[in-house]
Amino acid sequence: MQNIQIILTASSIESGELAGKTAVVIDVLRATSVILTALQNGAKRIRPVQSVQEAIALKSGDNLLGGERNAEKISGFDLGNSPLEYTSARVGGKEIVLTTTNGTLALSRSHQADRVLVAGFLNAAAVAEYLFRSKQPVELICAGTNGEFSLDDFLCAGLIADSLTSEEEMTPNDLVHLAIKTWREAKSDVHQALSACRHYNILKDKGFSEDLDYCLSRDLFRILPVYDPKEGTIRLISC
């Protein structure tokens, strides 16, 4: 039986609990969807950083600055937090220095895991297959929004957990059980399932409906981005 746990917010990751595990960082709306899209479209690597100042200090001729504060592009940055901006033409061959409110915090706090994968709906099947093959204990980390639980991340965790459990018999803990159940009820219409949710509606109200459609699309890519805390970068490994 594969050991699967879920953490509900980036801020609730406790030091040490990730040792010996594969951590999967999920920030569907929108940081991990941005990372996946940029790498799929040929970005050389992503360098997640916590602060706007850190990002600006790293600016060079070879890289682009991307990210958000309050879901908006940061003044002076090359790119915002809409994955649709991260086209091949824009990001191909470049390093992206990325700072977001929740996703980059979740990555930074996951450094004690044996391996840190980046996941979203866009690559959920590839991640689930990797996890299943690895047999390692798994911690699915929902980044959440400003320290609060966000249902979009939990649904994606449910999808990944559901894919894992369908391949072998297991007894999940109550939180994994709830995530799977919630995902199964939501999957026929994920937009409807999120229609009363806070972050989803903030993005909708700000005019990011196309981002919502895109970030909630399943398995557009078969890629596995891995975060290396020593290097401070995210790169693809082979599936």
Applying CB under 8 A, the residues found at the interface with a copy of itself are 8, 12, 148-151, 154, 171-175, 177-178, 181-182, 185, 196-199
Smallest separation, CB 108 to a copy of itself (Å): 20
Please state the closest distance from residue 4 (CB atom) to a copy of itself, in A. Answer: 13
Q: Which is nearer to a copy of itself, 115 or 199 (CB)?
A: 199
8 versus 216: smaller Cβ distance to a copy of itself: 8
- Beta strand pairing call for 45-48 and 95-99: parallel
- 182 to 161, 170, 175, 177, 201: CA distances (angstroms): 11, 18, 10, 9, 19
Amino acid at position 82, single letter: S
Question: In this complex, which beta carbon is closest to a copy of itself, that of residue 136 or of residue 146?
Answer: 146
* Residues facing residue 6 across a β-bridge: 140
The single-letter DSSP state of residue 32 is H
Tell me how far apart the alpha carbons of residues 172 and 158 are, in angstroms, rounded to a whole number. Answer: 11
Q: Which residues contact 71 (CB under 8 A, 6 or more apart)?
A: 81, 202, 203, 206, 208
Write down the least CB distance from residue 183 to a copy of itself, Å: 12
- Looking at the Cβ atoms of 52 and 175, the one nearer to a copy of itself is 175
For the bound state, the minimum distance from the C-beta of residue 193 to a copy of itself, rounded and expressed in Å, comes to: 9
Q: Is residue 20 helix, strand or coil? A: coil
Cβ-based nearer residue to a copy of itself, 197 or 239: 197
Output helix, strand, coil percentages for the chain, rounded to the nearest 5: 40, 20, 40
User: Nearest approach, Cβ of 196 to a copy of itself (angstroms)?
Assistant: 6
Nearer to a copy of itself, 13 or 117 (CB): 13
Nearest approach, Cβ of residue 173 and a copy of itself (Å): 6
